[in-house]
Amino acid sequence: MATETLTKPDQLTEQLRAAVDRNFDDQLGFLARMVQFRSLRGEETPQQDWLAQQFAGRGYGVDTFSLADVDLASHPKAAPLDGIDPAGSKQVVATYDSQGKGRSLILQGHIDVVPEGPTDLWTDQPYAGVVRDGWMIGRGALDMKAGVSAMIFALDAIRGAGYAPDARVHLQTVTEEESTGNGALATLLRGYRADACLIPEPTGHTLTRAQVGTIWFRLRVRGTPVHVAYSETGTSAILSATHLIRAFQDYTKTINAKAARDPWFGQVKNPIKFNVGIIKGGDWPSSTAAWCELDCRLGLLTDETPQQAMRGIEQCLAEAQAADSFLSENPAELIWSGFQADPAVCEPGGVAEAVLTAAHQAAFQAPLDVRLSTAVNDTRYYCVDYGIPALCYGPYGMAPHGFDERVDLESLRKTTLSIALFVAEWCGVKKL
């Protein structure tokens, strides 16, 4: 152990494995209850209040606060909230502090989920938390309430085996991961720090070596409404918007052509993704559309800052509009609507990674693989902005953000053990 050798490593592994197994039915019930909270953006408070109660029941010190309780505006990496009430976005930090000599740790997971889409396209109700054939199915079951259950029940397993971490551990459940990252940033602005951070996102029990950055933006396009019988005398904002979509698709191809030179994503085909996730427009089928709004997402490579990416978006938009007779005189409004996320790299060779590698090997009887992520996660704040080693590692599942999202339960069981072993070695343990 990091602070005190209490028993043989193999013996401790088996004690923790047995504790994880004893608790696993309770963990599945806990996860199912989490899934049953429809914790969409702006609607997370019932979930967070329930979690705060669960933490308090375990004897942890609990700090519940909102985005309004920290000075987000003072931090250069805070992203636009875009209409979300900061006072209604709760964060929860549960703390166990033994006043021991071990290394401190943050275990963090987000509880916000993306919309479920048409429910008739799900096999089961999306918030039922159904278990079938070794999977739990539901929105958020994989991304990332399974990981949240793993980090909580990893500490339960340590206690169930008769030990306690010999250090300070923060269990953090945050919002806004799917849209801005401001929830994780708020915990740092609140003053929570540690010697390492582990975020159990659904990585298929691999370590995220690098992640791209992400920018969210909205385009508000105008048109000239006329009766469709005289459509040539007006303009359609929807057709103008499709012109802009094509321009950004071409721009993304240009970025991906440069990706071959990226030190981390050079071997990944088309790592930069452009997506139009929401489109709204028009008022009447027989009128040319007077308005159209596009909500878009664009990635950025590891050698680029969000500010550089935003200037690139502005330039692409300007060039596309200059090439269109209507848009050149009636430019679209550009709004930064969410993520302004840095890319991040988990540099090889860190001590925390070595501890996780050993824990994973003991739990899975297999080496720890790494992955490159074309999406983002909250580790970026820790490693990029605060110099805290941050690991993204969690269970396996299928269809995050999709229909019939689900987590593999055996993977969850082993991931919980792996995290317990990581905590035991990183923090050290002492007998209760």
Answer whether residue 261 shows pLDDT above 70: yes
pLDDT at 2 over 80: no
Distances (CA, A) of 89 to 39, 48, 51, 53, 208: 11, 9, 14, 17, 27
User: To 10 degrees, the CA torsion angle through 259, 397, 48, 359?
Assistant: -80
Return the percent helix, strand and coil in the chain, to nearest 5: 40, 25, 35
Provide the whole-model pTM: 0.96
Written as six digits, the tokens of 418 are 């792996």
pLDDT digits (tens, 9 = 90+) for 289-321: 999 999 999 999 999 999 999 999 999 999 999
Residue 195 in contact with residue 388, Cβ under 8 Å? yes
pLDDT at position 3 is 44
Banded model confidence at residue 83, pLDDT cuts 50, 70, 90: confident
Reply yes or no on whether the pLDDT at 416 is more than 90: yes
Alpha-carbon distance 292 to 17, whole Å? 55
pLDDT at 355 over 70: yes
